[in-house]
Structure 1
Amino acid sequence: MTSTRNKVTAIIPTYNEEVNIGQAIESVLWADEIIVVDSFSKDRTVEIAESYDNVNVIQHEYVNSATQKNWIIPQAKHEWVFILDADEVVTSELEQEILNTLRNPNKTAYWIKRRTVFMGEEVKYGSWRSDKVVRLFLRDKCRYQDKKVHSEIETEGEIGILNNHLRHYTWKGINEFIVKVNWYSTWKAYDKIENGKPTGFFVTTVIKPFWRFIYEYLVRFGFLNGKVGFHIAILSAYDVYSRGLKIQLIKNGEAIAKDRI
């Protein structure tokens, strides 16, 4: 006899995601409730999301990713929540695993692995090859850390891990990527200073960017990705350099806008 599964609310945070939002929504149509929480997009994101009859679109002013998600999570109708970024897609294998897990969950949250598609190619080597994020969890027992960048779920319960992957389409073109790096590096620079992390000029603008390239391209075998691996290593080093430069500028009294572009 097949047990009844727990119902789940899928939440998709968005901002200017007209390129991705359709495929993201299509990949979670199996959810019992779908909420798109939009940060007042300037493109067709809301229009596309609202074209789906079973999608509830809510707009809310954005502060950072953690606060946006923590604001919308309690509004989920169902006790199980699944978070999907707009540039991600749930594969059919992961969909089935999630639904099976919800029939008899024995953890309060679950890690889900991601495979990245960058410049049209799946990344098979390097640190971008695969990572994991907590995305399936109990609404009332989990919240995101109070961090401006790369916040993760906190829970007092036990966290399990699923076997299948999300597909992460992180590339929308060089202009969008540089804008994203610029925005994130600003927040990371302020975080480093506020947390009292080492912020010396030579370390932050020379040593760390150089090491990030070597780490991505050689230590993690990124060169086996071909041209894409080289681009990832260069862009990763640029991200670290941008953060380091901003740390120095902020320490020298320059105010760098944190506004989302």
Structure 2
Amino acid sequence: MTISAFLPVFNEEARISHALESLQWCDEIIVIDKNSNDRTREIAQSFGAHVKIVCMENSEAYDSNEWQLFIDNCTSEWVILFTASDVLSPILAKEIRTLISKPDFPFDILDVPFRRYVLGIDSPKSPWHARFSTKVMRKSSIILDMKDVHAVARFSGAKYRLENFEKYHMYHLTHENVDKMMSNHIRYWRAEGKSDKFSMGASAKGVLKEFFRVIYKRSFLLGYDGLMLMFAYLSYFMMSFVYKWEAKRGNGQKCYADIRAQISDEWKNFRKL
């Protein structure tokens, strides 16, 4: 059985070599490069012929077309989802390879042990915490919904979980600083504001739901670190609502243009006096 990695990137010269190092066991690595203007593409090419670079335009909002580009260029039966934030234990890579190479393996989807660090913090009390994540699947199990933002792909089939959490992990080392976090979030907020999949009512309910989630996770017990995680996490959902409000009800530009035009007319009339 062969496996392809899906790696979308933009200006990732500082991190892409670490991600690619963790993917050398794959038969094919498809790098979806969003017209990086640093050394991202050069570094990717240096990893060999099994790295396939596919280019697309970068956009101010998240563009789900990266998924379709990957599917169109993927030649393997199996897929592993990766980002420049990810690194993978070699023991886990070997385990994945062993499982999918079995001719009689009856599963379509693999959940892998997962550790998500946010601004350098990983804790079961983090609202982002998850012990497992769906990262490996048969290509045939992927179903795309291009109108969605966070759930562009869903997976259909029998699921297998690699339970040895203490032995190996996939690490997601996201948001190394607050500026990076906010710039990434803005791209998703813009896309969500334009999407027909989201309503203001559902978004408002989502904020309340996530508020109770951070209370349930007891993030506040981590002290200032926990408060930071709570505020950063909730700010995503609150600002998502603000962007959707602007898309449906925002009138700032017209309102201000009307006021400026009114005052401009007043000054013209004042000068005539």
Q: TM-score, normalised by structure 1?
A: 0.80
Match for residue 8 of structure 1? 3
Match for residue 79 of structure 2? 81
- Which residue among 177, 185, 189 is the counterpart of 2:189? 185
Query: Shift of residue 127 of structure 1?
Result: 2.7
Match for residue 160 of structure 1? 160
Contact 1:74 1:139 in 2 (8 A): no
| Structure 2 gap ranges (5+) | 254-273
**Structure-2 change in CA distance of 1:50 and 1:149 (3 Å):** same
Q: Please identify which structure carries the higher helix content.
A: 2
Distance in 2, Cα, partners of 1:73 & 1:215: 34
Contact 1:144 1:153 in 2 (8 A): yes
* Count of aligned pairs between the two proteins: 244
Query: Shift of residue 62 of structure 1?
Result: 5.2
Look up the SS of the partner of 2:127 in the other structure: coil
- Which residue among 22, 39, 46 is the counterpart of 2:41? 46
Contact 1:109 1:138 in 2 (8 A): yes
Match for residue 59 of structure 1? 55
Q: TM-score, normalised by structure 2?
A: 0.77
- Which residue among 227, 237, 261 is the counterpart of 2:234? 237
Amino acid at match of 1:240: F
**Structure-2 change in CA distance of 1:208 and 1:29 (3 Å):** closer
Look up the SS of the partner of 1:136 in the other structure: strand
Contact 1:212 1:233 in 2 (8 A): no
Query: Shift of residue 195 of structure 1?
Result: 3.6
Amino acid at match of 2:28: E
Q: How does 1:55-204 map to 2 (within 5 A)?
A: 55-61=51-57, 64=62, 66-104=64-102, 105-130=105-130, 132-151=132-151, 153-163=153-163, 164=165, 165-191=169-195, 194-195=196-197, 197-199=199-201, 204=204
Contact 2:22 2:89 in 1 (8 A): yes
**Structure-2 change in CA distance of 1:232 and 1:61 (3 Å):** same
Larger Rg: 2
Identical-residue share of aligned pairs (%): 22
Moved over 4 A (4+): 62-65, 207-211, 253-256
Residue by residue over 1:111-136, the C-alpha shift from the partner in whole angstroms, topping out at 9 and shown as x without a partner, is 33421112223233233121644322
**Structure-2 change in CA distance of 1:153 and 1:246 (3 Å):** closer
| Structure 1 gap ranges (5+) | 1-5, 257-261
Distance in 1, Cα, partners of 2:249 & 2:159: 43
Query: Shift of residue 198 of structure 1?
Result: 4.3
Contact 1:66 1:151 in 2 (8 A): no
**Structure-2 change in CA distance of 1:250 and 1:131 (3 Å):** farther
Amino acid at match of 2:35: F
